[in-house]
Structure 1
Amino acid sequence: MPRAFRELDVWHVAMELATEIYKVSEAFPKHELYGLTSQIRRCAVSVPSNIAEGSQRATSRDYANFITIAKGSTAELETQLILALRLGYLNESTFQHVEGLSFRVARMLSKLSSVLRTASREEREKRITRATR
């Protein structure tokens, strides 16, 4: 199983998502700094962080649990993005862009989770790279 999370495409896309969230949340109102701005940023950072942490776990089962947590964070992030859109903090174009990245990460995480939970040890090594593309 690859232990170098930096080699996983899903980690790179998740980092891109977190970076974009930081950029777009800069425009949120200052009164949201300790509210939605903080929450959405922590959530976005959670995704690549859990991918990285899980990759360093001793078993595939542990790794898969961290991938499940990362996937849950993408759902939490989507909810926060919808709220930001409804409150007028994001325009439709920006929302579509970051939501698209979030969906892409969620799909990649689902594939990776499936590989980690079902494949034999030898097969996992081959399939993890493919699953995260």
Structure 2
Amino acid sequence: MKTYSFEKLEVWKESIELVKSIYKISSTFPTEEKFGLISQLRRASVSISSNLSEGTSRNTNKDKAHFTTLSFSSAMEVLNQLIISKELNFVSENDYILVRNKIEKITNMLNALRKAQLNR
């Protein structure tokens, strides 16, 4: 089976781990949030890895960097929704800290990747 270039990116692998964490945490949210925070958190977290994978198919480094920026934006969206979830007591302090640390690691990696893409 062929491995695509995005599958080799450490930041893509980390973003998949974040998706799994978000799905696990959001599965404990109140059922009335199914079409609210649960859906938004899950979609935004999946968007991080999706934009990374889409960006690798682009021809120019500028285009690749654009999709890396979109991934970063999605990570910020996840962070915002995570903060709201914590404020609503849907997320424990421990889970909040664990996921926030994952987001920080991913955003640092995305910044480094974007910088490298633009300097090529």
TM-score by length of structure 2 reads: 0.95
Q: Which has the larger radius of gyration?
A: 1
**In 2, Cα distance between the equivalents of 1:73 and 1:50?**
9
Structure 1 partner of 2:63: 62
Structure 2 partner of 1:117: 118
TM-score by length of structure 1 reads: 0.86
Shift of 1:59: 1.1
The amino acid that maps onto 1:112 is L
**In 1, Cα distance between the equivalents of 2:42 and 2:53?**
17
1:68-83 equivalences in 2 (<5 Å): 68-83=69-84
Q: Give structure 1 stretches of 5+ with no counterpart.
A: 120-133
Q: How big is the alpha-carbon RMSD for the aligned residues of Structure 1 and Structure 2?
A: 0.8
Runs of 4+ in 1 over 6 A off after TM superposition: none
The amino acid that maps onto 2:61 is S
Aligned-pair identity in percent equals 36
**In 1, Cα distance between the equivalents of 2:61 and 2:20?**
28
> For residues 26-59 of structure 1, what are the alpha-carbon distances to aligned partners after superposition, in whole Å with 9 as ceiling and x for unaligned?
0000000000100000000000010000011111
Structure 1 partner of 2:40: 39
**In 1, Cα distance between the equivalents of 2:78 and 2:99?**
10
Aligned length: 117
Structure 2 partner of 1:21: 22
